[in-house]
Amino acid sequence: MTVSQSVRRPVGRSLLLALASTAAFASVQAVAAEPIDPRLQQAMQRDLGVSAERLPQYLATQRLSLQQGAAAQRALGSTFAGSWIERKADGSFGFVVATSGTGKAARSLGGVEVRNVRHSLLQLERSFAALDAQSNARVPGISRAFEGVQSWRVDPVSNAVVVTVAPGAIGEGVELVALSGADAGAVRFETGEGSPQLTAEVVGGIEYSWPVGSQFGVCSVGFPATKGSVRGFVTAGHCGTVGKNVNVGNRASLIPLGTFANSDFPGTDMAWVTINANHTLSGRVSNYSGGFVSVKGSVEAPIGAALCRSGRTTFYKCGTIRSKNVTVNYREGTVRGLTESNVCTGGGDSGGSWITADGQAQGVTSGGQIPLGAPDNCSVAASSRVTWFQPLKPILSKYGVTLVTH
């Protein structure tokens, strides 16, 4: 992305706290380290640009952050300004906690860097909520207001609410901020490369599909799940409406797979597909290299964490989490609560699974910023690439389903 307008980056001193204690490491036993599948390790090294020597330290920092982030939020209270994993200049990784206060309450935390910033997370979230509220206020006679505004998110790394706009649409972004009453001093504008697009496409393909005239619509299976004795999988809501029947196999030999039992889009992008009795479930994710990654649970990873995405079009790709609770203004409707990453995606990847090296399921693919005329955003530099996924836990909660693990 290119920065169109920037306001107030984090300033002030940084306080580097002591290295993590043995007790701090012991507190993350709920997500204990396990050997990494060699193919998963290779994919992460390839897509993240992390050496084999640095990857274990990255993943150890990621595990530690699950407890340290929650502890920091409790300690800092209303002055908490977010947390994330950060790659240092020497290639190592550290966990950063931001605060709009003095940071004294966080001195007892080991293994974290406390950084002083201007805005608390609560202040940023208030401005974010104002933008959400304004986007709901439709203008009479206009079906989709602020069409040039693509998304907005709270970004603790830059201590701002980041509003992404299409090229030449900075005026619409400024107008949205002004009308919403959001704190303009907490807002930063970026120009998106491409435009938000849902990644379902009409092709003859694999994974799961449905007929669209003489063609086929295609999406990707998310995660197997159960609801009592009922079996199925979660996926993206924009892939299908309630009652739609889907298949597996190719056009010459289609096998009925199941039916959309629940689907929510826009607003959120989630669905629950029940499968027919002749199919079985396995708590694994395809790595598109002839192997599988076992699903161990659904512990939510922090900003900066490494993860990989599996989908039928661009296969198995890895990257990091950039932001959470992002609102995306798709042409088909606004979706809230998405997580943003720099993992590439393409048409047909929608609904596919996102998983960490520890086997923690994160969500299902929603969409991404796709360059005009391109089938995917894999050619976009990772620093500018944007893809969103619907977090998993809200799906499990909404539909009352249980993740299948392996």
Question: What pLDDT, on a 0 to 100 scale, did the predictor assign at position 190?
Answer: 95
Which domains, from first to last, does the chain contain? 122-193 (3.30.300.50), 194-406 (2.40.10.10)
d(C-alpha 21, C-alpha 27), whole Å? 10
User: Prior bond to 266 cis, omega within 30?
Assistant: yes
Catalytic residue positions, numbered = 238, 269, 350
Predicted model pTM: 0.84
d(C-alpha 316, C-alpha 204), whole Å? 20
Q: Kindly report, residue by residue over 253-277, the tens digit of the pLDDT.
A: 788 999 999 999 999 999 999 999 8
Place of tokens 């090294």: 45
d(C-alpha 95, C-alpha 113), whole Å? 6
Could you tell me which residues come within 8 angstroms of residue 165 by beta carbon, excluding any fewer than 6 positions away? 4, 148, 149, 150, 172, 173, 189, 190, 191, 192
Place of tokens 């001195």: 107
Mean pLDDT, the chain, whole residue set: 86
Question: What pLDDT, on a 0 to 100 scale, did the predictor assign at position 6?
Answer: 29
Task: Please state, in angstroms and as integers, the Cα–Cα distance from residue 299 to each residue in 30, 65, 239, 276, 358, following that order.
Answer: 9, 12, 25, 29, 10
With both helix axes pointing from N to C terminus, report the angle between 170-180 and 121-136 in degrees, rounded to the nearest 10: 100
pLDDT < 50 positions in the chain:
1-32, 140-143, 201-205
Tokens of 222: 């998310």
Question: What pLDDT, on a 0 to 100 scale, did the predictor assign at position 140?
Answer: 47
Question: What pLDDT, on a 0 to 100 scale, did the predictor assign at position 129?
Answer: 96
